[in-house]
Amino acid sequence: MNITEIKVENYEKVVTCKDEASGLHAIIAVHDTTLGPALGGMRMLPYKTEQEALDDVLRLARGMSYKSAVADTGLGGGKSVIIGDPKTLKSEALFLAMGRFVESLGGLYITAEDMNITIPDLEIVRRETSHVTGLSRASGSSGNPSPYTAHGCLVGVQASAEEAFGSPDLNDNRVVLQGVGAVGGRLAILLKEQGAHVTICDINTEKVERLAAEHGFDVVDDANHLDVDCDIYAPCARGAGINDETIPRLKCKVIAGCANNVLAEERHGFDLRERGILYAPDYVINAGGIINVSVELLPGGYDEVEAMRRINRIGEALRQVYAIAREENIPTAEAADLLAERRLEAGKKSVS
């Protein structure tokens, strides 16, 4: 196994690994550990070049530092990528080698599930390193993060309603929710329990029909969902849904959902502000899953009551973000970054 460090400005440690025996070619990026060890998922993709993989892992690791700083998880940010086609390259030997690679950082980086990596894959990694989170509840780990992400989103929708409409009460609010998957499906139910009128859509129409029959949601075709008048739009499917084409069509006053990378580009945050639409920054509102995972690392181990107590603080994080956006006259996504940077800076000062 050949592990090589690459010097990257503003990153604490970036290492590549090539292991001929197993075919592993991977990169781990540790962005910042001021607030704690760097937690971030492991993804596997057929990147065309090592540079493409490096760009991705650096961007994602930095994003995790910001997400954890705002969510106050007591953790830093990192990420790992395995270069290769998950359909053909996965093997026991590959994940054992990846486990040794993670272990070589001595706990500076803690891994978790991400794109194309499953719990069984991580269970193999776990045989070589203890620095793995998000395994099954039965094994003492925190289990499936999606219900916790959904709960955190509900708290975030309520805080956003308070900012936009003066009350966190969702009774009679009209919500359009795109993407009734693991998180969105659960969030739709939670919103309805709070008295909201929920209209759902998904490219998987079978799922939509089943949920509508079970819970009495209204349904709209995915292609037409932006034409439905609503108070709150909850994107819970995919990234880049808010872009030049969709912004003029929006009929909502608040955007608050679980999807990652909601804004196609940073500048779209300005466009939303100009249109008077409040945007709950994705990595703030969808932090319930990582907060849940972070509780595994507390001295007493995972505790669901403590996890929920911490996830409920997403409301306070968003209130702070909205206050900064008002004070600085900047889009909310920028305000979230500013809050993260202030917390990282304060952490650095308290260490030195």
Of 237 and 255, nearer to ligand NAD (C-beta) is: 237
Active site residue 79: yes
On whether the CB atoms of residues 112 and 39 are closer than 8 A, the answer is yes
As measured in angstroms, the least distance from the Cβ of 203 to ligand NAD is 4
Of 203 and 213, nearer to ligand NAD (C-beta) is: 203
As measured in angstroms, the least distance from the Cβ of 193 to ligand NAD is 18
As measured in angstroms, the least distance from the Cβ of 30 to ligand NAD is 21
- Element of type H or E holding 47: none
Q: What is the DSSP string of 99-127?
A: HHHHHTTTTSEEEEE-TT--HHHHHHHTT
- For 216-234, letters b (16+ CB in 10 Å) and e give ebeebebeebbebebbbbb
In the bound state, the residue with its beta carbon closest to ligand NAD is 181
As measured in angstroms, the least distance from the Cβ of 84 to ligand NAD is 21
DSSP 8-state assignment for residue 301: -
Of 8 and 247, nearer to ligand NAD (C-beta) is: 247
User: Which residue among the candidates 67, 79, 90, 253 is catalytic per the annotation?
Assistant: 79
Distance CA 281, CA 316 (A): 13
Distance CA 114, CA 157 (A): 25
As measured in angstroms, the least distance from the Cβ of 44 to ligand NAD is 16
As measured in angstroms, the least distance from the Cβ of 349 to ligand NAD is 30
Cα 72 versus chain centre, distance: 14
Query: Which residues are near ligand NAD by CB under 6 A?
Result: 145-146, 149, 178-184, 202-204, 207, 222, 236-239, 258-260, 286, 289
Of 123 and 222, nearer to ligand NAD (C-beta) is: 222
Residue 211 half-sphere exposure toward CB, CA atoms < 13 A: 28
Of 59 and 127, nearer to ligand NAD (C-beta) is: 59
Report the DSSP beta bridge partners of residue 218: 199
Name the residue with tokens 């949920």: 211
Q: What is the DSSP string of 170-218?
A: -TT-EEEEE--STTHHHHHHHHHHTT-EEEEE-S-HHHHHHHHHHH--E
Of 146 and 160, nearer to ligand NAD (C-beta) is: 146
Strands 232-235 and 174-178: parallel
On whether the CB atoms of residues 162 and 168 are closer than 8 A, the answer is yes
The catalytic residues are 79
